[in-house]
Chain A
Amino acid sequence: MSRYELVAGLETHVELATKTKIFCGCSTEFGGEPNTHCCPVCIGLPGTLPVLNRKVVEYAVRAGLVTHCEIAGVSKMDRKNYVYPDLPKAYQISQYDMPLCKNGYIDLSNGRRIRILRIHIEEDAGKLVHSRGNTYVDYNRGGVPLIEIVTEPDFRSPEEAREYLERLQFLMRYIGVSDCRMEEGSMRCDVNISVRPAGSEALGTRAEIKNMNSLSFITKAIAYEYDRQCDLLDSGEEVVQETRRYIESDGTTEGMRGKEDAQDYRYFPEPDLVTIRISKEDVEKIRASLPEDPDARAKRWQESFGISEADSAQLLRYRRVADYFDEAAKGLKNAKAAASCILGQMFRRMETEADKEKFETRVSAENLHALLQLLDEGKVRMNLVKSTLEKMLDSGKPASDFLSAQDLEGVSPEELDRLCTQAVEQNPKAVADYLAGKEKAVKSLVGFVMKSTRGRADAQKAEALLIDKIKAQA
């Protein structure tokens, strides 16, 4: 056990997935030719005024509710003044002393609770693009809505920070307020880190590492910074309060600017916008529109459907998948089959996590339900379900297009008996192998029966019957 305890807090910027920007009607879509998602308002032309997008407030309240925050009845926007070419008004419209949400938390799997100090809304800045020795500005991202989620310094290990961020990412996606794609910058993190002698309650001097956009960088940076600070203290030196940057190439951090160079943002209330008032009724309306609590949903699946913990976590990972599953599984005796269709066959067709998140499939939940209904009724077997589902996924047509009346009738005991006899008669080698102790040889006989019935037969029953017949023959 180390002599020092890590104390870290996170400030996470999450881009909200509203269709339009926070103060104008421009598209928030990522990418696009530079400066094409812009208008006089979001490039701050003289005389323009911001108008707050109601959806942004609604999304931020959703984020607040899912992280157990109190929602402020009265809130306001403030100006944060600083000069940088990517900020065309020379101030960012943000929230200073009256954030929309405060005092929430996220619980970790080790039982520790990470307290959320506040969540506020603000506008993103544009982006500098360096090319051929020149610097250009792209204002497409300027005015894209962000929430900043600030925790108390409650993290004691890099792993806790990682779990918190993964949980946050999951929750934001689940309630549909952000795609949280770190590689596209729609989720970015600043970390405050200090260390203190184990057992001490006082906070040490902290360093802040700015603007990290990968979970592994964040955990590495925290681990590196912890070691660096411990080493400093061990060698009798002091930690300096400063802003540091993470160096991706070697996993270290370096100082950017000290405390004395800290910017004075000269915050003051934004005079171009009015006070934000959110009534208790509005909050309740938003709360009612939230999807079922993810933990409760997983528990429900596990208890009433018998889905494993691992599978329910997979299904919950993306909101569309979870909703699709609930719709397809509703009323089925064998809801597990729906889970296995989704996590198996359907996910196999989706290469990336982004594909799974979008979950674009040609089979409607209703059609999957109808197919699995047949399974419930004993009219088809799982292997026929699988082959039919493949055809449905290819064509988008319902199961009824691929299953004949004969398919749906199943295989009668007489027919199965006849086919098994036939299999034994026509495959003497397999029979001999089986009798010689190669138990697996029976599988080829089962395959023969399945093939002759185009998958309609119950493979387990067929296997048992075949073994009986082989033994009777011997």
Chain B
Amino acid sequence: MQSFSIISKIHEGLSQKAYSCKELTQSYLDAIAKENGALNAYTLPTPEKALESARKVDEKLARGETLRPLEGIPLTLKANISTKGIVTDCCSKILSGYTPVYDATVWSILESQNAVLLGKCNMDEFAMGSSCETGCHGPAHNPHDETKVAGGSSGGAASAVAGGVAPYALGSDTGGSIRQPASFCGIVGLKPTYGAVSRYGLIAYASSFDQIGPLALCAEDAARIFDVLAQKDPRDSTSTGKKESALEALKKPLSGRIVGLVPEYFAGLQPDVEKALEEAKRVFESLGCTCKTVSIPEIRYALPVYYILACAEASSNLGRYDGIRYGYKTAHYTGINEMISKTRSEGFGKEVQRRILLGTYVLSAGYYDAYYKKAQLLRRKIQRAFAKAFTQCDFLLAPTVPMTAFPEGFTAQDAVQTYQTDICTVPVNIAGLPAVSVPCGFDADGMPVGMQLIGGSFQEAVLLNAAHQYELAARSQSFRSAGKGVEL
């Protein structure tokens, strides 16, 4: 089987002793040292931690033991995934220096496999943003054009993987934060079904939307990572685990599949994006799929519903940052109330403060019914509308973002206009569904375009199968390495 998988390539390289895990890790650490100045993908490289894991893997290899699926594979984690003893600051001043005393479940799973943590990577502050420019460590840059944004909020993760300084990354997706930067940087990003992967240890933005998922170079890698991570976690009551192995389903032929095209997703696209999607549709047809129009008019409520509910949850989730127990604390104050309000005014960036205020407002007495409650009702309506759509097709094909990567500084100009660019990604989070962004071409400037495959609940295997078959048919026209970092 033809494979684009860097994970299986490394797995093979290590198992066949083409190189040691230490050599492999060192080459990534060297690449980070060389490239990160331009990418700003990593906010905290962890070379000692990485080499320590590499040593364990090499010892295991020396004993002749077989490696587990992600053993010895280097990765980077978004700066909102808790790692014991390693600063996890969500790229926010208010969490500066905050070092968790426990591991997020996803990292416990990976660390138990001796995965090699190269470092923590850049993001928008508290995962709020579409450009990876709102964090306290400066913007991450797009490896395809460093004057363009990497996307957000998992911009550092996408930049690192596309820039060849990490084989894969784990990000989080609340309203598109995995898929949008994956699309902007020309890689694969999977937002799993809500509950498929444990959220324990993911520093919350909006709890009923947040989901951890992989950013990878191909669908096969995303499947390999998803299969390891998707487990029911007793520490997360909302976690359910997965239905079936995504890796095993990759090879299934697509003939006979019905691809749903939702016109509401195709309004107002950048022409190059529209063209790339048109081409993708033809590829699926050539693979034996039938395309069918499936309207979901409720999508027009998605943006307000998302921004009301996500901000409401955020306003509550971020209430705990008061300077009392950890993180940033204002220097000068008299009394506890002033200490808390000054700490928060100084510690949170503008976008985070905007969302806290918005969320506080929609939950306030007298406004709750008009905003929060109405949005909850619409959320259910959107969920039902998607469920109905999946009675008519196997998965949906849509653009991930209506455009390619913005120039840096764009999002700072107009918050509402920026929020509108999330139109294609947020419906999935509202409905709790899985979706994968897959590179499907380039715009006139050579910037990657991403398409989004959306499935019913726990249909990750169906989505990654379709993505993989698409890659087999069209990888040469749809994917291009940014030509940086480690060459294996």
Contacts and interface: CB of A to CB of B under 8 A. Distances in A.
Contacts of A89: 319-320
Nearest to B90: A46
A264 B320 contact: no
User: Ordered nearest first, which 4 A-B pairs have the shortest CB separation?
Assistant: A90-B319, A271-B208, A266-B363, A271-B207
Nearest to A46: B203
A47 interface: yes
Contacts of A52: 237
14 contacts: A44-B320, A46-B90, A47-B200, A47-B204, A49-B237, A79-B316, A83-B322, A83-B340, A266-B316, A266-B364, A268-B313, A268-B368, A271-B238, A272-B207
A447 interface: no
A266 B200 CA distance: 25
A42 interface: no
A48 B317 CA distance: 11
B167 interface: no
A43 interface: yes
B331 interface: no
B237 A272 contact: yes
A268 B204 CA distance: 16
B237 A273 contact: yes
Interface in A80-104: 81, 83, 85, 88-91
A128 B160 CA distance: 45
Contacts of A291: none
A247 interface: no
Given A47-B82, A266-B363, A85 B336 contact: yes
Interface in A341-362: none
A432 interface: no
A79 B237 CA distance: 16
B146 interface: no
A50 interface: yes
B324 A81 contact: no
B100 A46 contact: yes
A89 B98 CA distance: 16
Nearest to B313: A271
Given A46-B100, A51-B234, A274-B237, A90 B204 contact: no
A90 B322 contact: yes
A128 to B, nearest CB: 10
Contacts of A81: 315-316, 319, 363
Contacts of B360: 266
A43 B199 CA distance: 18
Contacts of A46: 82, 88, 90, 95, 98, 100, 203-204, 320
A413 interface: no
Interface residues of A, number: 29
Contacts of B326: 45
A46 B324 CA distance: 13
B364 A264 contact: yes
Contacts of B81: 47
Given A89-B319, A266-B363, 12 more contacts: A43-B325, A46-B98, A47-B200, A51-B235, A51-B236, A83-B322, A91-B316, A91-B319, A266-B368, A267-B363, A268-B363, A271-B207
A83 B319 contact: yes
A268 B200 contact: no
A396 interface: no
A79 B200 CA distance: 18
A49 B372 CA distance: 23
Contacts of B101: 40, 45
Contact of A90 (B202, B237, B320, B364): B320
Nearest to B201: A47
A235 B368 CA distance: 41
A137 interface: yes
Contacts of A273: 237-238
Nearest to B126: A46
Interface string B76-112: 0000111000001010000100101110100000000
B199 A49 contact: yes
Contacts of B203: 46-47
Nearest to A82: B319
Contacts of B368: 266, 268
A37 B238 CA distance: 26
Interface in B264-282: none
Contact of A264 (B316, B365, B372): B365
B188 interface: no
Nearest to B95: A46
Interface residues of B, number: 43
Contact of B202 (A47, A79, A88, A137): A47
B200 A48 contact: yes
A263 B181 CA distance: 41
Contacts of A49: 199-200, 235-238
A40 B104 CA distance: 11
Interface in B230-267: 234-238
Interface string B188-220: 000000000001111110111000000000000
A349 B294 CA distance: 81
Contacts of B199: 49
A76 to B, nearest CB: 12
A135 B336 CA distance: 10
A89 B200 CA distance: 15
Given A47-B200, A47-B202, A47-B203, A137 B235 contact: no
B136 to A, nearest CB: 16
Interface string B349-365: 00000000000100111
A80 to B, nearest CB: 10
A48 B104 CA distance: 8
B312 to A, nearest CB: 6
Interface in B349-390: 360, 363-365, 368, 372
Contacts of A266: 315-316, 360, 363-365, 368
Contacts of A45: 100-102, 326
Interface string B44-82: 000000000000000000000000000000000000111
Interface centre among B101, B235, B319 (most CB of A within 10 A): B319
A81 B360 CA distance: 10
A50 B101 CA distance: 17
Contacts of B336: 85, 135
A51 B237 contact: yes
Interface in A15-52: 40, 43-52
A50 B237 CA distance: 8
A198 B234 CA distance: 57
Contacts of B316: 79, 81, 90-91, 266, 268
Interface in A143-162: none
A266 B238 CA distance: 23
Contacts of A48: 102, 200-201
B63 to A, nearest CB: 35
B261 to A, nearest CB: 32
B238 A272 contact: yes
Interface string A33-74: 000000010011111111110000000000000000000000
Contacts of A88: 320, 325
A267 B82 CA distance: 28
A85 to B, nearest CB: 6
Contacts of A264: 364-365
Contacts of B201: 47-48
Contact of B324 (A85, A267, A274): A85
A52 B237 CA distance: 8
B238 A268 contact: no
Contacts of B325: 43, 88
Contacts of A40: 100-102
Interface in B159-204: 199-204
A287 to B, nearest CB: 26
B96 to A, nearest CB: 13
A88 B100 CA distance: 16
B4 to A, nearest CB: 33
